[in-house]
Amino acid sequence: MKKRGLILLVVPFLAIAFFVAPAHAVDSIVIGHPAALSGSYAKAGEQAVGGVQAAVDWVNSVYGGVNVGGKKVPLVYKYYDCESKKESVTSLLERLITTDKVTVTFAPYSSGLTLAGAPVAEKYGIVYMDHGGASDKIFTQGFEYVVQTIGPGSSYHVGTLEMVKKIAPDVKRVALAYEDSEFARSVMDGAEAKARELGFEVVFKRTYPMKVEDLTPLLSDLKASDPEIVIGGGHFQDGQLFNKQMADLDINVKLLSLIAAATLPAFGEALGDLAEGVMGPSHWEYGVTFSEEGAKAAGMTWIGPSQDEYVALFKKAVGKDMLPDYHAAEASAQVLALVLAVEKSDSVDSDVLRKTLGDLTFMSFYGGWDIDDTGKQIGHSMVNVQWQKGERKIIWPEDAQTAKPVFPKPDFE
Amino acid sequence: MIFEQLSGNLLQGLVLGSVYGMATMGLSLIFGVLQVVNVGHGAFIMVGAFTSLMMFQAAGVPPVLAIPVAFAIGMALGMLFYFGALKPLVSPSGSGIKSLDMRAVGMGAGILVALLVVMRFLSAAFKLHFAITLFVAIIFLYGFLLYIYGGRRQDKAPELATLLVTFSIGVILEESVKQLFTSEARGFNWAIGKLDLGVTVLPYTKLIASFGSLTIAVLLYLWFRKTRAGMAMRSVVEDDVGARVCGVNVDWQYALSFSLGIGLTVTSGVLLTMFIPVGINPYMGGPYTLKSFVIAVLGGLASPYGAFFGGLVFGLVENGSYTLFAQFQGLEPFAMTRFFSFVMLLVILLLRPTGLLKVK
Amino acid sequence: MMRPVRAYYPILPVLIGYGILFGIGQMVPGKWQLISQLAFFCALGQAFNLFMGMTGYVDFGYVAFLGVGTYGMAVSIYYLFDKGLGLTMIVIGMILAAVFSTLLSLAVGAVALRLRGAYFAIATIGVNEGFRFLIEGARIWNGSDGMIFSRHMKTAFGRETAMALSMKWADVIVFGVAFLAAVMTLLYMRNKVGYALTALREDEDAAKVMGINVTRYKLIAFITSAILAGLLGASAWALKLTYVYPTDVFAIHYTVEAIIIVLLGGAGTLLGPIVGGLIYGVSKYYLAIVLPGFQLMIFAPIIIMIIVLFPEGTVGILKKRVFGTPLEKFII
């Protein structure tokens, strides 16, 4: 009897026996990813996993594998779920490095979780590619193996302000209302600096807490400051709320630009007519016109699927009728960067890879890719999208336009 | 200027507060009768929001008409979770328990672990199906064990068990909804015009939601005061031993009030979508849980109509204090309103644990 | 009050348990992070159990103590890194962590410990959330921008030492905190504090009538538990991960994790949190690997099942089974 009771205790330890997994064959490139598939970042995590999978499928089936050591070897993707929790990131990352013997590691979504994994990657000296941590501060910490694909937060609203400056120079009054999170704050600080530099007048600057349920007091306050341009936002839910309650309070401005939320398909579905004319800065959007020909003209290396191929691959990878957004595209571009770096250096050694990535410049459907000495992304520029008649159109920069900007934006009905 | 803003905010706060109050009544009712704090409260609000969203998207049903459906879904979920998880922990008559046979338990655990080990070698495509199978298998195993052995009432630290069980119920709901509808934030647009009051603007949908909340609160009040069933439930709140002596089936009253509480909570989810029809996603409930705690305490924790009153006060304080904090440099007024509401929670708990009103 | 040595025998299985865990971490290459995560769960459970298990009071905002502890260490490194203090900085950080958590626990104790049952649980949630919003709203310690101090550590200690601190010594401190928590638990159990608290757990009013200074003993256990949590936050979160964001450290799901661990192992037992922490940690880790994306859906019903069917927890059941055998004196 006693022994049977102990089964409960013994069983988990038996599971430990499985930790010692069989050694991997050397003839493949393995990507390890402690993805955030559940918990607070589940949505972005799901996109990222789909994006990596889509790019890996493309490399293996269309591109024919990675050319290293004189032969084509397949790319393998291994991901676990870190539940958006920092402790799990460290242990799963270590498992990927030591047990699964991956070639490179990808960071989970968000700056916090990226930072949580960085010391582990540094300890094992393995390249740690960051597709979802936009904080500039990650790259002032002296990490040697962290490489960024997402652009730094401070540049998000720069293009928006430049656009206004160019097409309506007499518009001056800017209101900033961002979520009180590290990421949104870095966007806000970048936007404020740029606004002052371009001669705008910042008439309102406030934040609202994360997971807010009602923005009415803040927006009433904002309304009182009588702005012409409102830029702000933070994540998905609060961005929708922001737009909806602006409409509820009849706050009509010439331009409304929201980070993250407004660039996703769900935004237009949720808000319908209210989304008309709302803008958002995005790293990548369906419809951006980066192509092989364009890359050749600019003298850059091109790799990866075309945009339509990519969308098809993504849908297949997630097994749902879901459009990839910029979270997915970032993760995919990262895979392509890795492939190029491996081929260029003909090596899977981490130090060599890190050095090659540092010198690498290329273009894909995601746009340009180039990092500075600290690993920070500097080669990627953002686009601004606007909802026009229920569709997202790219309106800025001018050379990527799929439609002319509607300015001032139509009033809420 | 400030006065105008303040009065606008207070008006908005009053309207919002009535919906918050309604959203807390279920929590208070459940606490009043069962002495259980429903930590999964927000997840039930989320279920209501999804009910409203789905009915609007599928058939264009305006949220007002989704109320009875949501209430029925809530009652059903309440019964399910009461008998499935809470009854063994709280029921006054649920203590005649046999001891568990460790062989059966060991075998069950062994099967689960074996399944997991098998799953390790499956491809990602199979995992969804396997996960669902496993989920169902666990529920069945649980039901089977519960049927054979029954649960046992815990006398030591009952809060510990009930807090964790209600939390887990919330997680089950959130994760199931996530598997069904993904974690995308959704919304719908039901516009029927606005009322411009000068100091602020109120869409009619908000006013309907507010009026609906008030109606439900009044109906609940009347039900408690005027009907036999309501009085029976009230007697359990006052003194459950006494009620039993007087021939009230206390066990059934527990089940009924839990499911009524959940029904009210799910209904409030529908009312909330009239207020804010966007940003509906599986994890939206968390902040509402915390808010509801504060509101419930303002109203005395065990009293549903106290909770309604608490909601009004809360809405006024939260929106009103924004204007106050906005006068200070270097503060983030919005975060400070939250800070202030939790300070208020502690002060009330300390000075007037029976709530602001002394209605029982 | 002197007690025979054999009253302290139960510390042996604790020592052996942590010893084996530590040994595995040191011997098996590439498992140290997992082991340290397990040690974190054990320590969390152990520290939480010290107050909750003995008194039956459920502190739902317990994570606030870990949070302020994390800030204690972060503040020390972030603001003192260029003062040339060397490793003293870590000591200052630990002391600050202890001081912060003591202060917070005194404040909470003054308000919340007068309350009972669900009222206590809600009040402590209020403290946790309120504190977070205060940090964000008043922009204390950079507010929501948080503090990232990997660079500061590298500047102060050099790259190698900084790496060793966060990847090894932080975890060793976690083991230390876990063991300290176990020792404190046993000491209290075998002491006046424990007797008073047991009486209180069974019937607080009766205990009062008997002339026991209930408030005093509650406060002693509460502060001890809070300090341990503060030290845990300082080591497992600040020193190890080298960053702190308020939303990240005041996240209520860590309290839930603590409760799950304690319940799995058995509330009010000495060995419980270790067993619970191991079961919880290993199964969570394994589920994340086997079923990425579905583990919460699988885990939640299992939790309900365990609470309803085994309210005494693993060690509680074990205790009953070894009753009257020679093992009895080792397991409490």
The first and second tokens of residue A265, run together, are 């398909």
Residues 298-327 of B with CB under 8 A from C: 301, 325
For B18-43, what is the mean pLDDT? 92
Q: Which residues of B touch A213 (CB under 8 A)?
A: 276, 287-288, 291
Q: Does A319 touch chain C (CB under 8 A)?
A: no
Res. C93 pLDDT band, cuts 50 70 90: very high
What is the predicted pLDDT for the residue at B102? 64
Among C122, C132, C263, C321, pick the best mutation site for testing chain B contact (most B Cβ within 10 A).
C122
What is the helix (H) or strand (E) element at residue A369, kind and residue range? Answer: strand A367-370
Q: Residue B314 in contact with residue B341, Cβ under 8 Å?
A: yes
Pairwise CA distance, residues B321 & A282, whole Å: 35
Neighbouring subunits of C (3+ Cβ pairs under 8 A)? A, B
**CATH code for A155-282+383-400?**
3.40.50.2300
Residue B117's alpha-carbon distances to A102, B131, B199, in angstroms, are 22, 13, 63
DSSP secondary structure string for all residues of C235-301: IIIIIHH-EE-HHHHS-THHHHHHHHHHHHH-TT-SSHHHHHHHHHHHHHHHHHHHSTTTHHHHHHH
Do the chains contact at B276 and A214, CB–CB below 8 Å?
A: yes
Closest CA to A204 of A220, A227, A172: A227
Return the number of CB contacts < 8 Å for B and C. 192
Closest CA to A409 of A157, A160, A159: A160
Q: Residue B70 in contact with residue B52, Cβ under 8 Å?
A: yes
Burial letters A358-384, b for 16+ CB under 10 A, else e: eebebbbbbbbbbbeebbbbebbebbb
Extract the runs of DSSP E, i.e. beta strands, from A191-344: 201-208, 229-233, 255-259, 279-282, 301-302
Q: Does C288 touch chain B (CB under 8 A)?
A: no
- Structure pTM? 0.90
pLDDT single digits (tens) B293-348: 989 988 888 888 889 999 999 999 988 899 889 888 888 899 999 999 999 888 88
Nearest CA to CA, how far is A206 from chain B (Å)?
Answer: 7
Do the chains contact at B331 and C263, CB–CB below 8 Å?
A: no
What's at A6, amino acid-wise?
Answer: L
Pairwise CA distance, residues C332 & C326, whole Å: 13
What is the predicted pLDDT for the residue at C263? 87
Q: Residues with Cβ < 8 Å from A146, sequence gap 6 or more?
A: A107, A114, A118, A121, A122, A128, A129, A130, A138, A139, A375
Q: Which residues of A touch B5 (CB under 8 A)?
A: 220-221, 224
Phi, psi of A412 (to 5 degrees): -70, 135
What is the torsion angle, in degrees rounded to the nearest 10, for the CA atoms of residue A291, residue A294, residue A295 and residue A299? 170
Nearest to C40 among A15, A87, A120 (CB): A87
For B27-54, what is the mean pLDDT? 93
DSSP secondary structure string for all residues of C128-162: HHHHHHHHHHTTGGGGGG-EE-HHHHHHHH-HHHH
Residues 4-43 of B with CB under 8 A from C: 31, 35-37
Do the chains contact at B102 and A319, CB–CB below 8 Å?
A: no
What is the helix (H) or strand (E) element at residue A30, kind and residue range? Answer: strand A29-35
Q: Where are the domains of chain A?
A: 15-151+288-370, 155-282+383-400
Closest CA to B146 of A221, C155, C306: C306
Nearest CA to CA, how far is A388 from chain B (Å)?
Answer: 17
Which residue in A has a C-alpha nearest to residue C241's C-alpha?
A: A116
Unique residue bearing structure tokens 């790319």 = A75
**Cross-sheet strand order for the sheet of A279-282:** A201-208, A173-179, A229-233, A255-259, A279-282, A383-388, A391-396
Q: Residue A379 in contact with residue A369, Cβ under 8 Å?
A: yes
Residue A411 Ramachandran class (φ > 0 left, ψ -120 to 50 alpha, else beta): beta
What is the predicted pLDDT for the residue at B83? 84
Helix axes B304-325, B2-34, angle to 10 degrees: 150
Burial letters C213-233, b for 16+ CB under 10 A, else e: ebeebbbbbbbbbbbbbbbbb
Q: Does B184 touch chain A (CB under 8 A)?
A: yes
What is the predicted pLDDT for the residue at B152? 53
Q: Which residues of A touch C284 (CB under 8 A)?
A: 83, 88
Residues 84-143 of B with CB under 8 A from C: 85, 88-89, 100, 105, 112, 116, 119-120, 127-128, 130-131, 134-135, 138-139, 141-142
Q: pLDDT higher for B183 or A334?
A: A334
ipTM of the complex: 0.91
Nearest CA to CA, how far is C76 from chain B (Å)?
Answer: 24
Phi, psi of B91 (to 5 degrees): -60, 135
Cα four-point dihedral sign B153, B156, B158, B164: negative
Which residue in B has a C-alpha nearest to residue C140's C-alpha?
A: B331
What is the predicted pLDDT for the residue at B135? 82
Residue B356's alpha-carbon distances to B210, B295, B350, C275, in angstroms, are 21, 11, 12, 44
Nearest to C111 among B138, B336, B346 (CB): B346
Residue A277 Ramachandran class (φ > 0 left, ψ -120 to 50 alpha, else beta): left
For B272-277, what is the mean pLDDT? 90
Among C35, C155, C242, C243, pick the best mutation site for testing chain A contact (most A Cβ within 10 A).
C243
Q: Which residues of A touch B200 (CB under 8 A)?
A: 220, 249
Say which CATH architecture domain A15-151+288-370 belongs to. 3-Layer(aba) Sandwich (3.40)
pLDDT single digits (tens) B211-230: 999 999 999 999 988 888 88
What is the predicted pLDDT for the residue at A1? 41
Pairwise CA distance, residues C221 & C109, whole Å: 11
Which residue in B has a C-alpha nearest to residue A37's C-alpha?
A: B183
Closest CA to A34 of A74, A100, A82: A82
Q: Residues with Cβ < 8 Å from C176, sequence gap 6 or more?
A: none
Res. C317 pLDDT band, cuts 50 70 90: confident
Do the chains contact at B334 and A266, CB–CB below 8 Å?
A: no
What is the predicted pLDDT for the residue at C97? 96
Nearest CA to CA, how far is B185 from chain A (Å)?
Answer: 6
Please report, in angstroms and rounded to a whole number, the separation of the first and last CA atoms in chain B.
41
Q: Residues with Cβ < 8 Å from A33, sequence gap 6 or more?
A: A48, A49, A52, A77, A78, A79, A80, A96, A105, A106, A108
Closest CA to A311 of A298, A320, A301: A320
What is the predicted pLDDT for the residue at B92? 63
Cis status, amide bond into A408, omega within 30 of 0: yes
Q: Residue C252 in contact with residue C259, Cβ under 8 Å?
A: no
Unique residue bearing structure tokens 């994760």 = B175
What is the predicted pLDDT for the residue at A9? 47
Q: Does B73 touch chain A (CB under 8 A)?
A: no
Neighbouring subunits of B (3+ Cβ pairs under 8 A)? A, C
Q: Output the average pLDDT for chain C.
A: 89
Whether pLDDT at B243 is above 90:
no
Do the chains contact at A118 and C296, CB–CB below 8 Å?
A: no
Residues 115-134 of C with CB under 8 A from B: 115, 117-119, 121-123, 125-127, 129-130, 133-134
Nearest CA to CA, how far is B157 from chain A (Å)?
Answer: 24
For B262-278, what is the mean pLDDT? 93
Pairwise CA distance, residues C41 & B308, whole Å: 40
Closest CA to B92 of B33, B38, B167: B33
State the maximum Cα–Cα separation within chain C, in Å, rounded to a whole number: 60
Closest CA to A222 of A192, A241, A198, A250: A250
In three-state form (DSSP H/G/I as H, E/B as E, the rest C), the secondary structure along B26-84 is HHHHHHHHHCCCCCCHHHHHHHHHHHHHHHHHHHCCCHHHHHHHHHHHHHHHHHHHHHH
Do the chains contact at B337 and A217, CB–CB below 8 Å?
A: yes
- Nearest 5°: the CA angle C123, C128, C130 is 85
Pairwise CA distance, residues C44 & A26, whole Å: 40
What is the predicted pLDDT for the residue at A16? 45
For C284-304, what is the mean pLDDT? 85
Pairwise CA distance, residues C259 & C274, whole Å: 13
Q: Does B293 touch chain C (CB under 8 A)?
A: yes
Whether pLDDT at C126 is above 60:
yes
Extract the runs of DSSP E, i.e. beta strands, from B123-263: 194-196, 201-203
What is the torsion angle, in degrees rounded to the nearest 10, for the CA atoms of residue B311, residue B313, residue B316 and residue B318? -70
* DSSP 8-state assignment for residue A332: H
What is the torsion angle, in degrees rounded to the nearest 10, for the CA atoms of residue A109, residue A113, residue A117 and residue A119? 130
What is the predicted pLDDT for the residue at A191? 93
Pairwise CA distance, residues B85 & A194, whole Å: 56
Nearest CA to CA, how far is C220 from chain B (Å)?
Answer: 19
Which segments of chain A have a pLDDT < 70?
Answer: 1-26
Pairwise CA distance, residues B174 & B186, whole Å: 15
Q: Which residues of A touch B287 (CB under 8 A)?
A: 211-213
Q: Residue B92 in contact with residue B244, Cβ under 8 Å?
A: yes
Do the chains contact at B168 and C201, CB–CB below 8 Å?
A: no
Q: Does A210 touch chain C (CB under 8 A)?
A: yes
Q: Residue C76 in contact with residue C93, Cβ under 8 Å?
A: yes
Do the chains contact at A38 and C318, CB–CB below 8 Å?
A: no
Q: Which residues of A touch B57 (CB under 8 A)?
A: none
Closest CA to A333 of A293, A297, A301, A294: A301
Do the chains contact at B343 and C130, CB–CB below 8 Å?
A: yes
Nearest CA to CA, how far is A16 from chain C (Å)?
Answer: 8
Closest CA to B22 of B74, B60, B57, B61: B74
pLDDT single digits (tens) B126-175: 677 777 778 888 888 887 777 766 655 545 446 778 888 999 999 999 98
pLDDT single digits (tens) C22-34: 999 988 888 899 9
Partners of residue A72 on adjacent β-strands: A67
pLDDT single digits (tens) B67-119: 999 999 999 999 988 888 888 787 765 543 445 566 666 777 777 777 777 76
Burial class (CB in 10 A: 0-12, 13-18, 19+), A74: middle
What number of other Cβ atoms are within 10 A of residue B300's Cβ? 26
Pairwise CA distance, residues A410 & A274, whole Å: 10
Extract the runs of DSSP E, i.e. beta strands, from A138-243: 146-148, 173-179, 201-208, 229-233
